[in-house]
Structures are given as C-alpha cells and as structure tokens.
Amino acid sequence: MVRNAKPSTTAPDAEGVLRAAFLREAWIASRLRSPFVGEVLEIPAARQTGLYAVMPYYDGETLETRLMRAPPLSLITGLDYAIKLAKGVAALHRAGVIHRDIKPDNVIVETIRDHQLPGLKLIDLGVARLPHMEDLPAQHAPGTPSYMAPELFAGAAGDERSDQFALGVTIYRMFARAYPYGEIEPFTRPRLKKPKPLSACRPDLPAWLDQAVARAAAANPEDRFQDVFEFIFELEHGAMRAAPATPPRQPLYERNPLLFWKVACALLATALIASFAWHAISRAPQRAGPVITTPR
C-alpha cells in the first residue's frame, strides 16, 4: 500500500515537516519489528522517485470505524485489543520511540480469520519522537486533544508516560465509546477534572479493569504506571489478583433435584405418619377411672 504525502497545512515549512515525518517512519521501520506495529517498507534510494511511504496491505478496519458499529466490545475482545495495542506501544518505547498520537484512528483491527481473535497494528509513526533526531517545530506539535496528556498542553515534548495516557484514554473509549475527561476541542487548554469512571458507562466490566485504565489515564503523570510494561502486566493478570466474586448459592432443587425430592418425600412421609398418629390418639375411647363412693 502506497501512502502519499498530503500536507495538512499551507505553512512555508510544510514540505520540510512532511519530509521529516517520512524520515521518521523509515528510521523506525529499519530498527523495529513487532507484530503489533504497522511496518513501513524500506525502498532503495534509487527507486524513491517522490515523497511517499510503502506499507503492507492490512485487511481490516480502523478501531475508530469498529467503535462506530454495534454491539460494543465484549470484555474478552476488548482486553485482547488492549493488550495487543499496549504491547505495540511497549515495543516502540523499548526502541526509544515515543508515538505521540495514539488513538483509535491510528489502530488497524485486522479481519478475523479461522475463528481466531483478530490481529492489531499501531500505525502512523510520522510524528513519533526519536532519540538523537531533531523534533518537529512547536507550531506542528503532534497529538489529538482528547488523547493528549495535560503536560503536552503545557509544552512538554512527550515521553513514555504521555503515551501511556493516550493509551489509557484509547482503551477507555474502546469500551465506553466516550472520553474519561470529555471530548476536548482543538486549540484549547483544558483543565482536566475528575474523570468519569469506566464502570459508569459499562457496569458489566470488572472493577480491576476500571482501576487499571483510570491509573493509566491519570491527569498527574506521577499517578500513572511506572511504564507501559507494568500496565500490560495489570491487564494480563488483573483478574487473577482481584478478589474472586462469591457466586450466589443455588437452592438444593437446582443443585441436586434427586436429593431435593428424596428429602421432600421423607419430610412428607414423616408429616403423614405424625398426622395419622395424632388422629389415632385423639379418636381412641377414653377409659373410665374407678368410681369411689363414700359412706353416708
């Protein structure tokens, strides 16, 4: 699949920004291999006749497209997507790459084949922050407002924890089809208030998942997980560490119908025997006692 450069701005340096974006993707492609990150195929310099990138064709749809369609994602499917996406982000961080624009539009969910869970690819690495490479100019700062960590609005360049915030918001929206802090309009500097719990939108989801996503998307960077690897561990093992739910005790009739009827018959027989015995005693003739006469 060939992706051409389409400037989103008419600024004089737009072409330079686009060229830098394509160089970033080429650099990442040459150093990173992950089943959860979209590839960018390297092209020999002699064959590169323009500013474009070549990617493998992934048969599927963006996560954003999937979220627009009913039904909502189940716990099993959503957790599978969340873990795969988090592993893709972790692979970038291990290579020293900060994505800076994690959102459902930049995630491809591949078509289900052979009744297996679908693959997932994190794409669009053109605005990623790379080690030892000049960053984008301030006026071209990357990110989508509703997924941006508060420190990015204050001018921070972005790091592993700001990526983690975007990942947490993406997973929240994946389950709730809403944003924890509400949708944020472009060109604003929001003051994030207390987020809406995931359980308020999806009461069917477990409490441990609500807590894990809330921690990843915490407004204060210090309240988030130490890194994405810790978040992955929580997603994979949170159910095991959570207090097991006590299932409601079923009545004897549902647990063991045969035993129920045996006990019922025994009680009924006992009641009948007791009833017959009581009636027999109550109907028995009373024996007259001795007659005592006294002399006059």
pLDDT at 171: 98
The C-alpha angle with vertex 63 and arms to 116 and 167, in degrees rounded to 5, equals 105
pLDDT at 35: 92
Please provide residue 103's backbone torsions phi and psi, each rounded to the nearest 5 degrees.
Answer: -170, 165
pLDDT (average), residues 88-106: 95
Of 206, 200, 199, 198, nearest in space to 75 by CA = 206
Confidence of residue 245 (pLDDT cuts 50, 70, 90): very low
SS3 letters for 84-106? HHHHHHHHHHHCCCECCCCCHHH
Please state the pTM of the whole predicted model.
Answer: 0.74
Say which residue, 117 or 231, is predicted with more confidence: 231
Angstrom distance (rounded) from CA 226 to CA 232: 11
Is 227 an annotated catalytic residue? no
Confidence of residue 126 (pLDDT cuts 50, 70, 90): confident
pLDDT at 118: 79
Confidence of residue 10 (pLDDT cuts 50, 70, 90): very low
Confidence of residue 155 (pLDDT cuts 50, 70, 90): confident
**pLDDT tens, 81-91?**
999 999 999 99
Cβ partners under 8 Å of residue 182, min gap 6? 196
Bond preceding residue 137 cis, omega within 30 of 0: no
Instruction: Indicate the range of 17-26, 89-98, 156-165, 184-193 predicted with least confidence.
Output: 17-26
Cβ partners under 8 Å of residue 193, min gap 6? 181
The residue ranges of every structural domain in the chain are: 14-241
Q: Are 85 and 167 in contact (CB under 8 A)?
A: yes
pLDDT at 38: 87
Say which residue, 73 or 280, is predicted with more confidence: 73
pLDDT (average), residues 46-62: 76
Question: Pick the catalytic residue: 101, 124, 163, 210?
Answer: 101
Residue 110's DSSP bridge partners are: 60
Provide, for the chain, the percentages of residues in helix, strand and coil under a 3-state DSSP scheme, each rounded to the nearest 5.
Answer: 45, 5, 45
Angstrom distance (rounded) from CA 55 to CA 60: 14
Domain 14-241 superfamily per CATH: Transferase(Phosphotransferase) domain 1 (1.10.510.10)
